[in-house]
Amino acid sequence: MRVCVIGTGYVGLVTGACLAHIGHDVICVDNNEEKVKLMKSGQSPIFEPGLSEIMQSAIQTEKIHFTSDLAAGVAHGEILFIAVGTPPLPTGESDTRYVEAVARGIGANLNNGYKVIVNKSTVPIGSGDWVRMIVLDGIAERQKSLVAAGGVSEEKLPEFVAEFDVVSNPEFLREGSAVYDTFNPDRIVLGGNSQRAVALMQQLYAPIVERKYAADPSLPPVPILATDLSSAEMIKYAANAFLATKISFINEVANICDRVGADVTQVAKGIGLDSRIGNKFLQAGIGWGGSCFPKDVSALIHTADDYGYEAELLKAAVNVNERQRLIALEKLQQVLKILKGKTVGLLGLTFKPDTDDMRDAPALNLIEQLNRLGAKVKAYDPIVSQTGMRHGLSGVLVETDAERLADGCDALVLVTEWKQFSTLDYLKMAKLMAHPVIIDGRNFLDPEAMVRAGFQYVGVGR
């Protein structure tokens, strides 16, 4: 099928590349010319495991093309994905101006046959109908300009009325495993009232539904849930809000464990074995961040508020998380007492491993607060060091390896559980430090091994 994906961020590019990989003809549109140039040359502007490989093979088989020309993308696609960002505004609402610009642009360029417009971006509940309205506005504006330019008479205009439907198809991709998640989804949600559009979407995803690209092809087909537009939009918010709340819950339990002397990792195992609870997303630590949880939970609270409902549980989940993101600071103060003049080394900067994304990363709060208290902050992160990426980073000296990081530090904080952090030479690192203290912000390391290496080990709720 012919597909156009507009917006090649973490979600759009992964979606486009994966759809090309399963045989569709994909055009990815982005208004950032630099990015388009980079992608045309076969390079991914983001780090996502497996993405470069499938992008390059799709470029070779000419299944994927990149352009900044929205008109060309709209003309090509029978299915048009809107995947531009919806960052949070200071009020907590989503900034939907990019979605609006794209919807208007689609409308202005719709002219050849039936199209399905897919909201992949996480948009406030009710946006499906709003996108439809904006597309219609775009169509009307184009008609007006055609008449004004004298190209078409008023009577002929109905010929230009394009046929389209809007579908909400939320993504549930985790950064760091987005390609894997695309080929191995737990479910596919399709919201909309047009059976024609939903049928085309089912056809689009058929190879994935049939597990043709799955890690385990013997699994039963991926469940498809067809809903109305608002329910699909709500599913995305509710899923992220639930997961974020689950993490805040275990973080709260961890804080109680710290006080009573229990070990949250054992507690998580013990409750996770209850199939009603499940063992995933029960990893206590320094809180949730990233481009989705913080913004989606805030947006849901905001939506509830718009309808006069106070989302108390969600607000509590956010409050617990805000406090949790500074738990490492509290622990550093307990051990080092005064932080002024001390040097703290951060192991990891990104909001989770296997991504280069720093959006709303707990490391950023930590750096800011440590600076405020007069500590010197150093950091080592595999991807940040490898790519030379320094975007948005200030008040921190980025080292090129873990041993240089440890050298002279009064304490280390493990912020991101990069796999390679389990095999560092901690014995050597402890010797290089002024005080061999390690705060394990992800309960990732083996406490006994760290003590053997000469560290004073402090976990979260353990």
| Residues that are catalytic | 292
How deeply is 291 buried, as exposed, middle or buried, from its count of CB atoms within 10 A (0-12, 13-18, 19+)?
Answer: buried
Beta strands in 314-362 (DSSP E): 343-347
Footprint of ligand UDX on residues 6-25 (CB under 6 A)? 6-12
Q: Residue with CB nearest ligand UDX? A: 9
| x/- letters, 86..105, toward ligand UDX (CB under 6 A) | x-----------x--xx---
Q: Judged by CB, which is closer to ligand UDX: 79, or 339?
A: 79
Size of interface with ligand UDX, in residues (CB under 6 A): 41
Place of tokens 């596919």: 188
Rounded CA separation 212/218 (Å)? 9
Residue 158: count other Cβ atoms within 10 Å of its Cβ: 8
Q: Per CB under 6 A, does 282 bind ligand UDX?
A: yes
| Least Cβ distance, residue 153 to ligand UDX (angstroms) | 33
Which residue's entry shows tokens 């008449």? 147
Give residues 131-150 in contact with ligand UDX (rule: CB under 6 A).
Answer: none
Buried b (16+ CB within 10 A) or exposed e, 382-413: bbbbeeebeeebeebebbeebebbbbebbbbb
Nearest to ligand UDX of 84, 375 (CB atom): 84
Instruction: List all residues 6 or more positions away from 165 whose beta carbon is below 8 Å from its beta carbon.
Output: 116, 117, 192, 194, 196, 197
The answer to the question of residue 84 lying near ligand UDX (CB under 6 A) is yes
Q: Which is nearer to ligand UDX, 120 or 142 (CB)?
A: 120
Candidates 125, 134, 292, 367: give the one binding ligand UDX (CB under 6 A).
Answer: 292
Cβ of residue 75: shortest distance to ligand UDX, in angstroms?
17
- The yes or no reply on residue 351 touching ligand UDX (CB under 6 A) is yes
**Residue 175 in contact with ligand UDX, rule: CB under 6 A:** yes
Whole-number Å distance between alpha carbons of 322 and 362: 9
Pick from 120, 342, 376, 378 the residue near ligand UDX by CB under 6 A: 120
Enumerate the β-bridge partners of residue 236.
none
Alpha-carbon distance values, 444 to 127, 204, 355, 413, 461 (Å): 40, 40, 18, 11, 12
Which two structure tokens, joined as six digits, stand for 329? 């600071």
State yes or no: residue 293 binds ligand UDX (CB under 6 A).
yes
Q: How far is the CB of 143 from ligand UDX (least distance, A)?
A: 22
Q: Which residues ranging from 217 to 246 are in contact with ligand UDX (CB under 6 A)?
A: 240, 243
Q: Tell me whether residue 126 is exposed, middle or buried, using C-beta atoms within 10 angstroms of its C-beta: 0 to 12, 13 to 18, 19 or more.
A: middle
CB 45 within 8 A of CB 10: no
State which of residues 27, 83, 166, 241 lies at the interface with ligand UDX (CB under 6 A).
Answer: 83
Least distance from C-beta 93 to ligand UDX, angstroms?
13
Least distance in Å: CB of 454 to ligand UDX? Answer: 28
In the complex with ligand UDX, the residue whose CB is nearer, 297 or 458, is 297
73 or 192, CB closer to ligand UDX? 73
What is the C-alpha to C-alpha distance for residues 361 and 351, in angstroms, rounded to an integer? 4
Rounded Cα distance between 83 and 5, Å, is 7
- Smallest CA-to-CA distance from 117 within 190, 167, 162 is with 167
Judged by CB under 6 A, the residue of 66, 172, 380, 418 near ligand UDX is: 172
Contact range with ligand UDX by CB under 6 A, out of 132-140, 168-176, 301-309, 382-390: 168-176
Q: Which residues pair with 168 in a beta bridge?
A: 119, 191
Phi, psi of 91 (to 5 degrees): -75, -10
Q: Does 65 help bind ligand UDX (rule: CB under 6 A)?
A: no
Stretch that binds ligand UDX, among 124-132, 257-265, 280-288, 373-381 (CB under 6 A): 280-288
Please pick, from the candidates 81, 183, 249, 288, the single residue that binds ligand UDX as defined by CB under 6 A. Answer: 288
Q: Which is nearer to ligand UDX, 164 or 237 (CB)?
A: 237
Question: In terms of C-beta density within 10 A (0-12 exposed, 13-18 middle, 19 or more buried), how is residue 302 classed?
Answer: middle
Q: Name the residues that contact ligand UDX, by CB under 6 A.
A: 6-12, 30-32, 35, 83-86, 98, 101-102, 120-122, 171-175, 240, 243, 247, 281-283, 285, 288-293, 351-352
